[in-house]
Amino acid sequence: MLTVKDQLLSVAEQLDPARWKGTDMWQVNLQDIGIDSIAYIHFIVAVEQQLQIEMPDELLDFGKFQTLEEIGNYIERLTA
């Protein structure tokens, strides 16, 4: 079974592989690589589909999570 981290990285890479090239995908600041609020929401929707869960509205706050690691840690706490 894939971990939350594996699934988040897979979704991110599938949505926009060029954006992530040459980065530490797990720890790069999302805004530093050009992720805006629209791309962020698109990513969250794709994650919901991949993980088959519904994210709380709190996760939709683009400014609250700076990295995939922060998003992953949040999801792991939710699903524990």
pLDDT tens track for 35-67: 999 999 999 999 999 999 998 988 889 889 999
Cβ distance 71 to 30 under 8 Å? Answer: no
Q: Which amino acid is at 38?
A: I
Q: What is the pTM of this model?
A: 0.89
> Would you place residue 22 in the very low, low, confident or very high pLDDT band (cuts 50, 70, 90)?
confident
Question: 79 falls in which pLDDT band (50, 70, 90)?
Answer: confident
The gap from C-alpha 68 to its chain's centroid, in whole angstroms, comes to: 5
Burial zone of 12 (CB within 10 Å; 0-12 exposed, 13-18 middle, 19+ buried)? buried
Mean pLDDT for the chain overall: 92
